[in-house]
Amino acid sequence: MSLQPTHVLAMPGIRQQTGTGPSILVCRPNTRLGNTVLLTPLIEELQTNLPNARIDVLSACPAAREVFEGFSGVHRVHELPFRGVRHPLRYAGTVLRVCRIGYDIVIDPCPNSWTARFLTRWIPGRLKIGFTHPRRKRGLDVSIPFRDAPRHMGAYPVYLVRRVLFDLGPKASRADEATLAMHLAPAEREFGRQEIRRLTGDEAAGPVIALATHATGAKRFAIPWWRALIEQLRARAPHARFIEIRPPSGRASLPELAGFSSRRVRQVAAVIDAATCFVCADSGLMHLGAATDTVTVGLFKVTLPQLYAPRRGRSCALAASDAEPEAAAAHIAKLLD
């Protein structure tokens, strides 16, 4: 959706700092990979409609630089230490450096983050925007109610900037479903294809299903469940080949499968992108997969798909239970068809 800036962006002082477009800080000091990837629709929206803007991101996710590497509009990622309480001097130093820059616009995209609102309040900015919160009323120049926003975590930051910066109504601001994106370079995509060939052999032999078993707490499925899922999928798609996407440690949950592991998030995304289908529980890796062109199936059993479902192409959320890998296999097999 291509939009026109409104009077908000014509406020005194806006755009004067760079001479070409506003300087924008997206304040999302969260540590999780998934929540960081879920910011990509917001960055895309700003980059598309304010092509001359200089966009910075304040994050505590160690992979944030890699996530936003492919966005031409992102000028800098300010990286807070992963566990800030253990590194108070580094944390304070990063915040002070951000404060010295000063921004035309500071965006707090999260309606419920105390840390984001606190930092938004103290970082200098000519215009500060976010969602209205009953207990955090200070720190914003313009705020809007959250009640009309779409519930998906990738969509409501887009809704925020459409309402405030582009002066759209609630219905128009919800239009055009927000999709995640990693913007992999051609060389990265080729790396993914080469790794798939290395792991599976002839790339023309059949579809490649990548599996990631790791998830936190109750979102995790037991290893016997995954083996039952693979057995059911092999019965429905005899030519399918399987690989495991392993954590950075390289620890295998399914050692009988060829596996890929890397500490580089973009390399993991490239391998997922080269697969035919990616299946995993609700996790940061699920959102990473949903930011590629591969069909990603997110398995949900305790969290709400409305908030976290994969949002790109034919990717989807699938309600699954510990007792029924057969139902999940049937749905995945239809996607392969």
Residue range 126-146, pLDDT digits in tens: 999 999 987 777 789 999 999
CB of 288 within 8 A of CB of 270? Answer: no
pLDDT tens sequence across 173-204: 998 777 999 999 999 999 999 999 999 986 66
pLDDT at 124: 96
CATH code reported for the domain at 7-173: 3.40.50.2000
pTM of the model: 0.92
- Give 167's DSSP letter: -
pLDDT at 176: 77
Q: How far is CA 85 from CA 82, 113, 165, 270, 317, in A?
A: 9, 17, 34, 33, 35
- Give 25's DSSP letter: E
Amino acid (1-letter code) at residue 263: R
Average pLDDT, the chain: 91
pLDDT at 17: 45
Q: For residue 80, which of 125, 129, 25 has the smallest C-alpha distance? A: 25
313 band by pLDDT with thresholds 50, 70 and 90: confident
Q: Phi/psi zone of residue 235: left (φ > 0), alpha (ψ -120 to 50 degrees), beta?
A: alpha
CB of 119 within 8 A of CB of 27? Answer: yes
pLDDT at 130: 96
SS3 23: strand
- Helix pair angle (265-274, 186-200), 10° resolution: 70
Is 186-336 in the same CATH topology as 7-173?
yes
13 band by pLDDT with thresholds 50, 70 and 90: low
Residue 304: CB partners within 8 Å, gap ≥ 6? 151
CB of 137 within 8 A of CB of 46? Answer: no
CB count within 10 Å of CB 203 equals 13
CB of 295 within 8 A of CB of 277? Answer: yes
pLDDT tens sequence across 53-65: 999 999 999 999 9
Report, as an integer, the average pLDDT of 163-175: 92
Q: Which of 294-303, 307-316, 317-326 has the highest mean pLDDT?
A: 294-303
Q: How far is CA 112 from CA 130, 131, 153, 248, 325, in A?
A: 10, 9, 12, 30, 35
B/e letters for 234-273, b = 16+ CB within 10 Å, e = fewer, are: eeebeebbbbbbbbeeeeebbeebbbbbbeebbbbbbbbb
Q: Between vectors from CA 255 to CA 253 and to CA 260, what angle results, nearest 5°?
A: 80
286 band by pLDDT with thresholds 50, 70 and 90: very high
**Domain ranges across the chain:** 7-173, 186-336
Percent of the chain residues topping a pLDDT of 90: 79
pLDDT at 14: 57
Looking at the domain covering 186-336, what would its CATH class be? alpha beta
Report, as an integer, the average pLDDT of 24-38: 96
- Bridge partners (DSSP) listed for residue 28: 59
205 band by pLDDT with thresholds 50, 70 and 90: confident
16 band by pLDDT with thresholds 50, 70 and 90: very low
pLDDT at 18: 44
pLDDT tens sequence across 74-109: 999 999 998 777 888 999 999 999 999 999 999 999
